[in-house]
Structure 1
Amino acid sequence: MRFAGAVLVVALATVSGCSTPAAAPAAAPPSASACASSPLPLPPDANGLDIRGVDPAGRLVVAVPNHNGAELGAMLWTDGGPPQPLPAIKDISVAGVNASGVVAGTRHVPGVAGERAVLIRDGKVVPLPVPDSATSTSAAGINTRGDVAGTVTLKAGGERAVLWRAGAATPLLLAAGTGDTSAAGTRDTSAVGINDDGVVVGNAGQNRHGYRWTPDGTATALAVPDGYLRVAAVAVGGDWALGVSAAEPVERDGKLVDDPAHPSRGVRWNLRSGAVEILDKMVGPMAIGASGVAAGAIDGTGRPAVWHDGAAFVLPMPMPDPAPSVIDWVGPDGRTMIGTVRHDDLGAQLAVWRGC
């Protein structure tokens, strides 16, 4: 793909040079001495940024630097090198980038109601087709072969998750399971991402209950852990999905309160087996890798952490006393992460963790 006149040749290797995704979570916990973070360079006039997309191998990072909150335009980091401007992405909200450098995103088209899901390929913006029943479309993620998951707003009202299959002329609208009103509440659905098998992960209903859809549109509600009322999906990576639980209210002194025995926590699903588990101490789940390693914040501190085989590991920070920070991407090896580290006085840094 061409960005700002440069040709990017993308190889399927992680930032740390690790191998292909494992089929199960990493067997050994990380070592504090092996895990290290380092910042990626920012433009000289930037004091903050927001990550918009990382390719599955972690070689390409799309982010929008800013100066005191004023956006400076989307930029691309390749293999940790200096950022390059991405003029084609102006006014486009990026949802993801795949290993070939194709970007999926959403833009507002002047003079047209609503938004439009688009691809940026070879430096050109390619609109994705709008279903006849829809007024607006948005992208949520893209996989290696170029399938895009997103959400459309319907002319009749409500929303549907949608799958734009690579090479297909017509997008596929994704509904919740027939008759599953207890979990979904309504027929509204929305997507949060897609894996390389073409499985879309998202939510159904106004209360956002986690769902998955196979490439032919078959819907399955994601399992709810014992003691919880519902779970909402937030991310997908390989055969894994990440979400957050909502505790079932209990009565205390005549009032309904969250059950202290079942607080809101991160939830992980195996998309092949359907198994669900609570990630103890995780709050604010953020990202999950193809190995099943999940990233979020640890309860009580808000510090970014990763979960290896049921144990939480707090990530070291590249600056002292950081403000709440975000891990946006977990590599297929489960040992490499990319995120944004923020400091109240020093602004934000784009950071990479290796060996974690």
Structure 2
Amino acid sequence: MVNPVSSSNSCAAAPGAPVTCEASWLPQPVRGSVAVANGVDPTGRYIVGDIGTGQEDGRVVLWTDGRAEVLPAGARHAAAVNAGGVVVGTDGDGTGWVYRSGRLRFLATPPGYRAVLVHAVNARGDIVGTASGAGDSHHAVLWSADRPQTYRLVGEPGSAATGITEDGTIVGGLGQLPYRWTPQGAGTALPLPDGHSHASVDAVRGGWAIGMVPGARQGGAVQMLPVRWNLTTGAVGLLPFPGAAGIAGNGDLLVGGGTPLVVAPDGTSRRLPGRPEVRTTEAGTYTANGISDDGLTVVGAVYENQVHRPLVWRCRR
């Protein structure tokens, strides 16, 4: 087990609103050269990640207030954790699972489909993902954490679900269009940035969603551009960053690669400090993968000397 140690760095988010951030190691209860924190709940209390060798042998770890718990071996590839510590994911065979109150249970795969991919869970335990079948057939699915063998198909065939808000609004796609569904199941397409005919939605928190649109072709590959939706106003816009790793409930955007960056809706930004001991992100390669709703807790990892180590950044105003 690694004892948490920390360093701090102060950076300005906006005039008159300094934010101090501190990077700390997360303890590693099992051995593995690939140890990464992948997600954090909206409150910042629960963190979920994987530790292994990178050869499909990873164990899911749940950190609660910094204390590590290794989930049962049947839990693989965690996707998300909610404010109650409920963890969801998909194992290597395409079976969805939920870990709740110390018990691992598996999600029903709808008849006619051979696998599911679980993406998100909200505070009341609503779980969303996508069932896939023969060819390119797929359908968005909604499960409940306390009734994992019951489900509801969302929208029409060809739909996909990638996120759910606390009130039960689901986001995802229908065909090549970004979509949202109300808690009652009514679906509408999200607006597209000017000049674009299709987009994906990757995550949602509060009244904000993020996704990708195809850009110019470079070197034989299409460059994907990040986009952010304000679900309250309907505004949509392209983002001037190479990618977006997460969105907070307050609209803060997490730019996760290289030297991680948190960008507020007004455009002000702050870079996160480096790992403990060095105080700068110039040493090692950093990934930031998840952000709390207030934008003050970020989780990820640093890669150096062929080893990934999990990190949490705690910030305060």
| TMscore range, shorter length | 0.7 to 0.9
Q: Which of 129, 138, 141 is equivalent to 2:108?
A: 129
Matched residue type, 1:289: A
Consecutive unaligned residues of structure 2, counting only runs of 5 or more, are 1-12
How far apart, CA to CA, are the structure 2 residues paired with 1:265 and 1:157?
24
How many Å apart are 1:196 and its aligned residue? 0.7
Identity %: 33
Q: Which of 197, 203, 208 is equivalent to 1:240?
A: 208
2:245/2:289 contact within 8 Å kept: yes
Equivalent runs, 1:189-338 vs 2, <5 Å? 189-205=159-175, 208-247=176-215, 264-280=224-240, 282-297=241-256, 302-308=258-264, 309-318=266-275, 319=278, 321-338=282-299
How many Å apart are 1:344 and its aligned residue? 4.2
- 2:314 is the alignment partner of 1:341: no
User: How many residue pairs are counted as aligned between the two chains?
Assistant: 299
Matched residue type, 1:188: G
How many Å apart are 1:142 and its aligned residue? 0.7
How many Å apart are 1:122 and its aligned residue? 2.7
TM-score normalised according to structure 1 size: 0.72
- Per-residue CA deviation, residues 71-116 of structure 1 (Å, 9 max, x unaligned), is 45222211123x2322x253522221222222222235xxxxx522
How far apart, CA to CA, are the structure 1 residues paired with 2:117 and 2:54?
28
- Per-residue CA deviation, residues 314-342 of structure 1 (Å, 9 max, x unaligned), is 22221553444322221221232122222
1:139/1:148 contact within 8 Å kept: yes
Q: Which of 74, 89, 98 is equivalent to 1:105?
A: 89
Change (3 A) 1:285 1:342: same
How far apart, CA to CA, are the structure 2 residues paired with 1:50 and 1:30?
34
Matched residue type, 1:175: G
- Pick the structure with greater CA Rg: 1
Q: Note the aligned Cα RMSD (angstroms).
A: 3.3
- 2:51 is the alignment partner of 1:65: yes
How far apart, CA to CA, are the structure 2 residues paired with 1:195 and 1:287?
14
Matched residue type, 2:308: G
2:75/2:97 contact within 8 Å kept: no
How far apart, CA to CA, are the structure 1 residues paired with 2:249 and 2:64?
21
Change (3 A) 1:269 1:33: closer
- Per-residue CA deviation, residues 190-249 of structure 1 (Å, 9 max, x unaligned), is 2222111111122233xx542222222222222111233432212111111011222267
- 2:79 is the alignment partner of 1:95: yes
More strand by share: 2
TM-score normalised according to structure 2 size: 0.80
Change (3 A) 1:313 1:244: farther
Matched residue type, 1:247: G
2:128/2:163 contact within 8 Å kept: yes
Equivalent runs, 1:5-154 vs 2, <5 Å? 28=14, 34-43=20-29, 45-67=31-53, 71=57, 73-81=59-67, 83-86=68-71, 88-107=72-91, 115-154=94-133
SS, match of residue 101 in structure 1: coil
Change (3 A) 1:227 1:333: same
How far apart, CA to CA, are the structure 2 residues paired with 1:124 and 1:33?
38
Change (3 A) 1:28 1:146: same
How far apart, CA to CA, are the structure 2 residues paired with 1:175 and 1:98?
24
Matched residue type, 1:315: L
Aligned to 2:7: none
